[in-house]
């Protein structure tokens, strides 16, 4: 099979036109079509979502209720007696799992699951203090110590509670948890703010959560508080923690956020910070935040991102060291950080209508984030290296369980990222089989997308129903990995469709029954890292469409240690039943030597063994 060679920077497929232009911010806002209006029906994601509802949530509930003391902490806090078990931020895992339950209930009503959520919420409400404060660690270890250490995650836990409260209210209409979160938000605002105490949250999250609370309550003071917390950074207010000196770089506190140019410190904290900045920028029309985010995006994607869309190379700080330091076996690439890349890049796209952000979102989603959960939905990766000697395996749970609970809330919400609407267009960002019903302008539309993506590049988009003829554009993302595609409308070829910022723009009067066909060529791509990534000198990786592949020892017992690619390597692709159904790649290295590639997200789902993404490469003589 023909394959192409694509020399890439370490971040992905962004060579030209990547850098954001400072000052060019039209605030072209794209509204996401909420996943509650999108029913996913394809053979790739639909089984995963069903498995999430039946297996992943059950694992999380069992761990929270039976295997760990997370829910017991709330019970003890309500009584005002007993010990706190676990880590000081364990409340957040319960809130994230509840958020995942809420998202699941939106599209899959389940009375028993809703009853379980209500039981948890009752426990949360009972654990809240009269002044609105809620945090089981300090309730059980001494309320006199609260709000003394900026790295004890009090606002981080509050942020995840707010996100869960908003999600559950939107899913069920029940306000009990939302009201708990409002009381906690009011408590924080009574304590901190202009003319009160300074505060820099050691782990960001509260900022984006307050933006959500503002949007559901229309109380602008919550948005103002989020803005104030962002502007507290880099002004010398960071505290000395109990475990050592406050490291401003690690906490994204070394300069005002508007002046930031380079990502540093802890990867997940940075992602949540950038999401908060993006939300406040959008809601307050603040171009200063967006200028900073453009600079930061360039630094993250062009110099500090793995081919899998993972970020954060260092175990030492769960984050970053220097540009182009991207080791493979030692890569940290926390699952939470890859999910954070999805969250952040979605927000960046809404400002600009630029497909480069969805290209990164898609890369992180299909590779870095999806690798974080087993195919059966019951085991998890915290760390996602790009090579292993056979010692790295998924686990049932972690003492620090942020990643399992993160995946539990991320998976049921992936429908959020497929479509968007703006004043003049419907935006098709991702290619996932689904039926969606939503409003654009004054028009009610039903779309059905049929595709075998990511294995097959053929997509059909049907306008099933339309309340009245629609004159808005339909904009279809052309992924950066795609070098050739064909486009038809109602069977007629569209050879001269303009492409703006990576979207093919179809402009016509649309009516019910119209059909768009879009077909991407999906050759095997052999990719090289930026020469400054010393770890990958003389190596190549393989991808096809949005999927990054790896070589696993279980498929290549004879040849695993002795594999060298070259321009003469021939590739064949074919759908196979293993790993819940994949397109595997066979690389023929010589007449008697073949190797099998599988999708990176699928490794460590069978027997233990070695794995690598980057293979040795030798130019032909």
Tokens linked to 100: 């995942």
Give SS3 for 104.
Answer: helix
**Percentage above 90 pLDDT, the chain:** 86
**Domain-located, residue 50:** no
- Phi, psi dihedrals of residue 316, rounded to the nearest 5°: -55, -45
- Is residue 578 within 8 A of residue 556, CB to CB? The reply is no
89 and 218 together in one domain: yes
pLDDT digits (tens, 9 = 90+) for 106-163: 988 999 999 999 999 999 999 999 999 999 999 999 999 999 999 999 999 999 999 9
Residue 117: both structure tokens together: 């959520």
Q: CA–CA separation, 490 vs 513, rounded Å?
A: 9
Residue 100 sits in the same domain as residue 151:
yes
Active site residues: 318, 402
pLDDT at 11: 36
486 is a domain residue:
yes
Backbone torsion region of residue 436, taken as left when φ is above 0, otherwise alpha when ψ lies between -120 and 50, otherwise beta:
beta
Q: What is the DSSP letter of 52?
A: I
- Residue 386, domain member (yes or no): no
The residue ranges of DSSP E strands in 490-610, in sequence order, are 492-493, 499-500, 503-506, 515-520, 524-528, 539-544, 547-552, 564-565, 570-576, 582-590, 593-599
What is the dihedral sign for C-alpha 231, 234, 237, 243?
positive
* H or E element, residue 106: helix 91-107
Per-residue pLDDT, 621: 54
Same domain for 439 and 506, yes or no, is yes
Q: Identify the burial level of 41 via C-beta atoms within 10 angstroms of its C-beta, where 0-12 means exposed, 13-18 middle and 19 or more buried.
A: middle
DSSP state of 553: G
Q: Which residues of 548-578 are buried (b: 16+ CB within 10 A; e: fewer)?
A: bbbbbbbbbeebbeebebeeebebebeeeee
CA dist list (Å): 603 to 375, 588, 610: 10, 21, 9
Q: Which domain-ending residue is among 225, 248, 271? A: 248
Non-local (6+) Cβ contacts of 158 within 8 A are 134, 135, 181, 184, 185, 188, 206, 209
* Helix-helix angle 402-410:91-107, to 10 degrees: 20
The answer to whether the CB of 601 falls within 8 A of the CB of 366 is yes
Spatial contact of 25 and 290, defined as CB atoms under 8 Å apart: yes
Angle between helices 267-284 and 335-352 (to 10 degrees): 20
Please state, in angstroms and rounded to a whole number, the distance separating the CA atoms of residues 52 and 405: 12
pLDDT at 104: 95
User: Does pTM surpass 0.75?
Assistant: yes
Tokens representing 494?
């569209």
Structural element, H or E, at residue 343:
helix 335-352
**What's residue 189's pLDDT?**
98
Residue 42 lies in a domain: no
- Final residue before a domain boundary, out of 476, 500, 520: 520
Token pair of 18, please?
Answer: 């990547």
d(CA 611, CA 621): 28
Q: What are phi and psi of 277, to 5 degrees?
A: -60, -45
Asked whether residue 209 falls in the same domain as residue 101, the answer is yes
**199 and 155 within one domain:** yes
Does 294 reside within a domain?
no
pLDDT at 241: 58
**Total domains in the fold of the chain:** 3
- Please tell me whether residues 553 and 600 are part of one structural domain: yes
Q: For position 240, what pLDDT does the model report?
A: 67
Q: Environment class of residue 452 by beta-carbon count within 10 Å: exposed (0-12), middle (13-18) or buried (19+)?
A: middle
Whether residue 133 lies inside any domain: the answer is yes
Q: What is the pLDDT of residue 28?
A: 74
- One domain for residues 579 and 515: no
Q: Residue 392 and residue 215: Cα distance in Å, rounded?
A: 42
Strands 3-7 and 524-528 come out as parallel
Q: Which domain holds residue 604?
A: 524-617
Where on the phi/psi map is residue 370: left (φ > 0), alpha (ψ -120 to 50), or beta? alpha
CA-to-CA distance for 516 and 488, rounded, in angstroms?
6
The SS3 assignment for 548 reads: strand
Closest CA to 598 of 577, 616, 618: 577
For residues 442 and 487, membership in a common domain is answered with yes
Q: Residue 53 carries which DSSP code?
A: I
In this structure, the answer to whether residues 502 and 540 fall within a common structural domain is: no
Q: For residue 188, which of 212, 222, 211, 160 has the smallest C-alpha distance?
A: 222
Q: What is the torsional sign of CA 397, 399, 403, 409? A: positive
Triad 429, 434, 439: Cα angle to 5°: 70
Q: What is the average pLDDT score of the chain?
A: 92
CATH number of the domain bearing residue 502 = 2.60.40.1180
Q: Are residues 86 and 221 in the same domain?
A: yes
- Give the domain-ending residue among 499, 520, 541: 520
Q: Which residues pair with 518 in a beta bridge?
A: 459, 487
Of 347, 338, 346, give the one whose Cα is nearest residue 384.
338
> Do the domain assignments include residue 128?
yes
Q: Is the Cα dihedral 3, 8, 11, 16 positive or negative?
A: negative
Q: For the segment 284-296, what is each residue's pLDDT rounded down to a tens digit? A: 998 889 999 999 9
The reply to whether 267 falls in a domain is: no
* End-to-end Cα spacing for the chain: 21
> 237 and 93 in one domain?
yes
Shared domain check, 195 and 242: yes
Query: For each successive 10 residues of the chain (621 residues), what is the average pLDDT?
Result: 37 32 59 96 96 95 93 97 95 96 93 97 98 98 96 97 97 97 98 97 97 98 98 91 78 96 94 97 92 96 97 87 94 94 97 96 98 95 94 88 87 96 96 97 95 98 95 96 97 94 97 98 97 96 98 94 92 97 94 91 95 93 54
Query: Three-state secondary structure along 114-181?
Result: HHHHHHHHHHHHHHCCCCCCCCHHHHHHCHHHCCCCCCCCHHHHHHHHHHHHHHHHHHHCCCHHHHHH
């Amino acid at each position: 099979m023909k394959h192409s060679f694509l020399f890439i920077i370490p971040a992905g497929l962004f060579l030209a036109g990547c850098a954001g232009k400072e000052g060019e911010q039209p605030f072209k806002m794209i509204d996401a079509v909420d996943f509650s209006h999108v029913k996913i029906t394809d053979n790739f994601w639909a089984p995963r979502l069903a498995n999430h509802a039946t297996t992943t949530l059950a694992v999380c509930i069992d761990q929270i209720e039976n295997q760990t003391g997370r829910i017991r902490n709330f019970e003890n806090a309500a009584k005002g007696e007993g010990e706190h078990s676990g880590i000081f931020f364990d409340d957040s895992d319960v809130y994230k799992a509840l958020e995942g339950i809420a998202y699941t209930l939106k599209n899959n009503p389940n009375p028993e699951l809703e009853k379980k959520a209500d039981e948890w919420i009752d426990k949360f409400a009972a654990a809240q203090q009269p002044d609105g404060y809620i945090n089981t660690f300090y309730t059980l270890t001494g309320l006199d110590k609260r709000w003394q250490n900026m790295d004890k995650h009090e606002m981080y836990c509050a942020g995840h509670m707010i996100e869960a409260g908003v999600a559950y209210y939107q899913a069920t209409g029940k306000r009990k948890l939302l009201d708990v979160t409002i009381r906690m938000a009011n408590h924080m605002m009574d304590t901190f703010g202009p003319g009160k105490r300074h505060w820099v949250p050691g782990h960001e999250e509260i900022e984006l959560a307050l933006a959500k609370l503002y949007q559901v309550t229309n109380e602008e003071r919550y948005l103002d508080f989020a803005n104030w917390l962002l502007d507290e950074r880099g002004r010398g207010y960071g505290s000395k923690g109990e475990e050592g000196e406050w490291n401003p770089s690690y906490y994204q506190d070394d300069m005002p956020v508007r002046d930031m140019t380079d990502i540093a410190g802890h990867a997940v904290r940075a992602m949540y910070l950038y999401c908060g900045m993006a939300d406040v920028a959008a809601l307050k029309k603040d171009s200063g935040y967006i200028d900073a985010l453009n600079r930061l995006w360039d630094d993250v994607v062009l110099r500090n991102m793995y081919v899998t869309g993972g970020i954060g190379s260092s175990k030492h700080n769960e984050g970053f060291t220097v540009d182009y330091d991207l080791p493979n076996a030692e890569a940290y690439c926390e699952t939470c950080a890859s999910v954070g890349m999805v969250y952040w890049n979605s927000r960046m796209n809404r400002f600009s209508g630029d497909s480069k952000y969805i290209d990164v979102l898609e890369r992180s989603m299909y590779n870095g984030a999806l690798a974080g959960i087993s195919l059966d939905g019951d085991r998890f990766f915290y760390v996602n290296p790009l090579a292993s000697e056979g010692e790295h395996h998924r686990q049932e749970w972690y003492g620090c369980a942020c990643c399992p609970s993160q995946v539990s809330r991320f998976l049921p919400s992936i429908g959020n990222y497929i479509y968007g609407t703006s004043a003049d267009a419907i935006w098709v960002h991702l290619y996932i089989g689904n039926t969606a019903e939503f409003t654009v302008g004054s028009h009610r539309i039903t779309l059905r997308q049929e595709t075998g993506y990511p294995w097959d590049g053929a997509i059909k988009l049907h306008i099933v129903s339309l309340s009245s003829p629609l004159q808005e554009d339909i904009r279809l993302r052309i992924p950066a990995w795609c070098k050739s595609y064909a486009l038809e409308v109602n069977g007629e070829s569209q050879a001269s469709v303009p492409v703006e910022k990576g979207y093919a723009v179809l402009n016509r009067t649309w009516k019910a029954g119209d059909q768009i066909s879009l077909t991407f060529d999906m050759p095997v791509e052999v990719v090289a890292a930026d020469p400054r990534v010393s770890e990958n000198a003389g190596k190549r990786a393989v991808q096809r469409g949005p999927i990054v592949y790896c070589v696993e020892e279980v498929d290549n017992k004879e040849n695993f240690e002795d594999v060298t690619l070259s321009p003469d390597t021939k590739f064949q692709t074919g759908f196979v039943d293993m790993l819940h159904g994949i397109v595997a790649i066979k690389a023929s290295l010589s007449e008697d030597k073949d190797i099998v590639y599988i999708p990176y997200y699928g490794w460590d789902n069978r027997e233990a063994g070695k794995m690598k993404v980057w293979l040795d490469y030798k130019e032909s003589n």
